[in-house]
């Protein structure tokens, strides 16, 4: 479905027609424009900058096919297929509300998503249960909560976070039961860093980084030894351990080795609960099944490799822990600030009864879109999934290496091969690089400026002497992974940008006519990457001209602290406008107020 058509469905469907007849608050919320619902019930960074119409992740809550997007290490704007699926799900909810069965509808849809995720990830027979959340970081809080119950009686908890320097910024607080932001996805104001009510005050963490102070990857042996020492000392001190294993990190690494994890679980079987951070979803399905068979919990998202809209998280709970949870009857009191009854599996009645009935429509619709992407990806024959990702891994680093201004990180990922294999994920899919000016890697701030300019039309910022071709490149919207700081080879703090392959590189280039036709389509993706690199070169040559970008960024961050209430504003506008223009109107209003 084209984005225009998708919008027509959203804005002109029966919901707007019967709106006036229905008093129900619930229904009125559901009939908000889909674009608005998709930004609700999540991280504060989902709020849109009314000038750029982009959220804190540089994404738009409606399809953005005009942008060249290789940002799946961070987040991606919703696709046309995802948007259409979410629009259908929204309409189903509205129909249920009209029939008076909305409460059941949320459970029905969540259960249907669980079935689909289990099917796509080949977990059907595993007894795995799924707890939904608004983000990978929220799911880390859920994981801690489940681990706490699984390890009950084994002593105070220690979270051992491996690859702590390459996970989400909220992981450390979340894995110790602390608020990771000043506002929860449910909109509750909280104190960042403070313990969430009901989580034990004596939970501590040990962070084991993947890199040394020079940004070099530490050897697998060293990381493994650190893990064994941290777990061993904790258990010897009478503590129970939640071992947060990385598979894979922001830059694509896996740590510690499988051998190390096995040694931990065989040496201290009762005192350790493993939680695998697979939020990037860059692991083979056989490996995923193996983790769950070993009773490891697994954190996933639909919004990174799978390119569902930002944000969506889930915790996969293995059969044994699920059995414990189905008998549990209490949860930490503060959990209600984060999660709702529908997020938790139907059979976990005791837990569900302690949580509020407060369905999170935005989260559900984002997951619907993500599952649509999963389906499209796994519908592609495995041989082409492998071929496309291998081709990406062959071409993209080569294109980066050809640019004098770009320096691919020498060692960007560590993932020891083992007997589990990685299927198509055996090949790297995230390519981080420094951006240099006269050979010097640029700071995180400069990278952030380039990152923002990439994602906008900055043709008007170029000097008068710029050529028509340069203006065309500068106008192109290019979305890459958020900048990450990293010491450069001279041990100065520098920034990196990342170009990543997500599921859509496969699903949108696959052609039923076969691999030859698909590869021709894939070549167009590389042309897009080439344009992104051209634009980076151009921006490096014109860094001074980007000062205005910072001006508009100040405006953006001011608004992020006080997020734009799209739902109410766009609902007001919905009666006046049809289609995506309501957002243009919003942008116009914001500019007028400047
Ligand atoms: C490896 C890893 N784990 C967890 C997270 C947190 O996920 P989310 O952004 O959905 O909260 C991230 C985010 O980038 C990540 O890269």
Interval 278-305: pLDDT, tens:
999 999 999 999 999 999 999 999 999 9
- The residues, ordered by sequence, that sit 6+ positions from 300 with a Cβ below 8 Å of its Cβ are 136, 139, 278, 279, 281, 313, 314, 315, 316
Quote the ligand 1 centre to 20 CA distance (angstroms): 41
252 vs 415, residue with greater confidence: 252
Widest CA span of the chain, in angstroms? 72
pLDDT confidence bin for 443, thresholds 50/70/90: very high
Contact 569, 437 (CB under 8 A): no
User: What single-letter DSSP state applies at residue 442?
Assistant: P
Quote the ligand 1 centre to 90 CA distance (angstroms): 27
Contact 341, 356 (CB under 8 A): yes
Which of 384, 383, 440 is CA-nearest to residue 407?
440
Tell me the β-bridge partners of 432.
498
Contact 139, 313 (CB under 8 A): yes
pLDDT of residue 581: 37
The pLDDT of residue 563 is above 70: no
Phi/psi at 457 (5° precision): -80, 110
Residue 72 beta carbon below 6 angstroms from any ligand 1 atom: no
pLDDT of residue 574: 32
Structure confidence by residue, pLDDT tens digits, 27-85: 778 999 999 999 999 988 899 998 889 999 999 999 999 999 999 999 999 999 999 99
Quote the ligand 1 centre to 168 CA distance (angstroms): 4
Topology of the domain comprising 126-360: 3.40.640
Tell me the mean pLDDT in the region 353-382. Answer: 97
Three-state secondary structure call for residue 315: strand
Task: Please provide the average confidence, as pLDDT, over all residues in the chain.
Answer: 89
Atom of ligand 1 nearest to the CA of 139: 11
Tell me the mean pLDDT in the region 342-360. Answer: 95
Of the listed ranges 26-30, 365-369, 381-385, 530-534, the one predicted with least confidence:
26-30
Tell me the mean pLDDT in the region 365-378. Answer: 98
Of the listed ranges 230-234, 318-322, 489-493, 588-592, the one predicted with least confidence:
588-592
The pLDDT of residue 572 is above 60: no
pLDDT of residue 9: 35
Quote the ligand 1 centre to 417 CA distance (angstroms): 23
Quote the ligand 1 centre to 299 CA distance (angstroms): 9
495 vs 594, residue with greater confidence: 495
DSSP string, 340-359: -GGGS-TT-HHHHHTS----
Of the listed ranges 150-154, 387-391, 393-397, 570-574, the one predicted with least confidence:
570-574
Within its chain, how far is the Cα of 314 from the centroid?
Answer: 11
Ligand 1 pocket mutation, candidates 164, 181, 253, 280, criterion most atoms within 8 A of CB: 280
CA distance linking residue 391 with residue 524, whole number of Å:
12
Structure confidence by residue, pLDDT tens digits, 263-273: 999 999 999 99
CA distance linking residue 435 with residue 441, whole number of Å:
5
Residue 313 beta carbon below 6 angstroms from any ligand 1 atom: yes
Block residue for tokens 């969506």 = 312
CA distance linking residue 1 with residue 85, whole number of Å:
10
Percent of the chain with pLDDT over 70: 88
Residue 168 beta carbon below 6 angstroms from any ligand 1 atom: yes
pLDDT confidence bin for 185, thresholds 50/70/90: very high
Structure confidence by residue, pLDDT tens digits, 84-117: 999 999 999 999 998 888 889 999 999 999 999 9
Dihedral in degrees, nearest 10, Cα atoms 566, 567, 571, 572: -50
1 vs 239, residue with greater confidence: 239
Block residue for tokens 């167009």 = 524
Domain regions of the chain by residue span = 126-360, 380-553
Which of 540, 532, 580, 553 is CA-nearest to residue 71?
532
Which spans in 439-514 are helix H?
444-454, 468-475, 503-507
Quote the ligand 1 centre to 445 CA distance (angstroms): 21
Residue 277 beta carbon below 6 angstroms from any ligand 1 atom: yes
pLDDT confidence bin for 552, thresholds 50/70/90: low
pLDDT of residue 6: 36
Quote the ligand 1 centre to 563 CA distance (angstroms): 22
Ligand 1 pocket mutation, candidates 71, 74, 137, criterion most atoms within 8 A of CB: 137
How many helices (H) and strands (E) in the chain? 22, 14
Tell me the mean pLDDT in the region 274-281. Answer: 98
| Structure tokens given for 317 | 């709970």
58 Ramachandran zone, left/alpha/beta (phi>0; psi -120 to 50)? left
Residue 311 beta carbon below 6 angstroms from any ligand 1 atom: yes
pLDDT of residue 303: 98
Contact 170, 137 (CB under 8 A): yes
User: What single-letter DSSP state applies at residue 482?
Assistant: E
Which of 183, 112, 106, 90 is CA-nearest to residue 340?
106
The pLDDT of residue 567 is above 60: no
Structure confidence by residue, pLDDT tens digits, 195-223: 999 999 999 999 999 999 888 999 999 99
- Per DSSP bridges, beta strands 204-208 and 157-162 are parallel
| Structure tokens given for 105 | 């509808």
pLDDT of residue 559: 34
């Amino acid at each position: 479905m084209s984005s225009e058509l998708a919008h027509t469905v959203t804005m002109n469907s029966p919901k707007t027609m019967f709106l006036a007849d229905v008093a129900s608050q619930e229904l009125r919320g559901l009939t908000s424009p889909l674009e608005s619902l998709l930004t609700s019930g999540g991280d504060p960074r989902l709020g849109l900058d009314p000038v750029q119409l982009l959220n804190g992740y540089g994404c738009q809550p409606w399809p953005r096919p005009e942008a060249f997007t290789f940002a799946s290490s961070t987040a991606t704007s919703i696709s046309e297929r995802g948007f259409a699926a979410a629009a259908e799900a929204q309409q189903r909810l509205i129909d249920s509300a009209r029939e008076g069965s909305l409460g059941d509808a949320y459970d029905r849809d969540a259960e249907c998503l669980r079935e689909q995720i289990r099917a796509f990830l080949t977990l059907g027979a595993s007894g795995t249960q799924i707890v939904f959340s608004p983000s990978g970081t929220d799911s880390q809080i859920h994981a801690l909560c489940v681990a706490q119950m699984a390890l009950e009686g084994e002593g105070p908890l220690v979270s051992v976070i491996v690859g702590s320097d390459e996970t989400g910024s909220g992981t450390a607080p979340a894995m110790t039961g602390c608020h990771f932001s000043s506002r929860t996805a449910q909109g509750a104001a909280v104190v960042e860093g403070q313990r969430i009510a009901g989580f034990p005050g004596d939970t501590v963490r040990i962070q084991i980084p993947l890199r040394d102070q020079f940004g070099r990857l530490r050897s697998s042996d060293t990381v493994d030894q650190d893990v064994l020492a941290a777990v061993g000392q904790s258990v010897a001190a009478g503590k129970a351990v939640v071992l947060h294993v990385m598979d894979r990190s922001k830059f694509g690494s896996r740590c510690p080795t499988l051998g190390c994890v096995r040694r931990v679980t065989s040496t201290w079987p009762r005192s350790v609960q493993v939680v695998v951070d697979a939020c990037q979803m860059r692991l083979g399905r056989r490996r995923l099944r193996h983790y769950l068979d070993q009773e490891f919990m697994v954190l996933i998202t639909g919004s990174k490799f799978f390119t569902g809209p930002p944000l969506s998280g889930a915790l996969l709970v293995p059969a044994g822990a699920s059995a414990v949870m189905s008998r549990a009857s209490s949860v930490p009191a503060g959990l209600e600030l984060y999660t709702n009854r529908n997020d938790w599996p139907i059979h976990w009645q005791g837990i569900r009864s302690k949580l509020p009935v407060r369905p999170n429509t935005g989260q559900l619709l984002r997951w619907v879109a993500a599952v649509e992407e999963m389906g499209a990806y796994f519908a592609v024959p495995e041989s082409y999934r492998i071929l496309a990702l291998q081709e990406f891994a062959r071409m993209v680093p080569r294109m980066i290496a050809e640019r004098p201004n770009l320096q691919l990180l020498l060692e960007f990922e560590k993932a020891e091969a083992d007997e589990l294999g990685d299927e198509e994920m055996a090949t790297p899919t995230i390519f981080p690089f420094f951006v240099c000016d006269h050979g010097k890697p640029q700071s995180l701030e400069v990278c952030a400026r380039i990152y923002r300019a990439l994602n906008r039309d900055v043709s008007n910022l170029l000097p008068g002497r710029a050529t028509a071709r340069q203006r065309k490149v500068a106008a192109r919207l290019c979305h890459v992974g958020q900048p990450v700081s990293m010491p450069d080879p001279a041990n100065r703090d520098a920034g990196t940008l990342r170009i990543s392959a997500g599921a859509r590189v496969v699903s949108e280039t696959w052609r039923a006519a076969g691999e030859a036709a698909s590869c021709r389509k894939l070549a167009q993706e590389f042309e897009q990457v080439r344009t992104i690199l051209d634009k980076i070169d151009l921006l490096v040559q014109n860094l001074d001209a980007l000062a205005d970008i910072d001006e508009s960024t100040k405006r953006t961050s001011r608004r992020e602290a006080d997020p734009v209430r799209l739902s109410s504003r766009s609902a007001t506008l919905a009666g006046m406008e049809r289609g995506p223009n309501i957002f243009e109107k919003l942008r116009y209003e914001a500019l007028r107020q400047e």
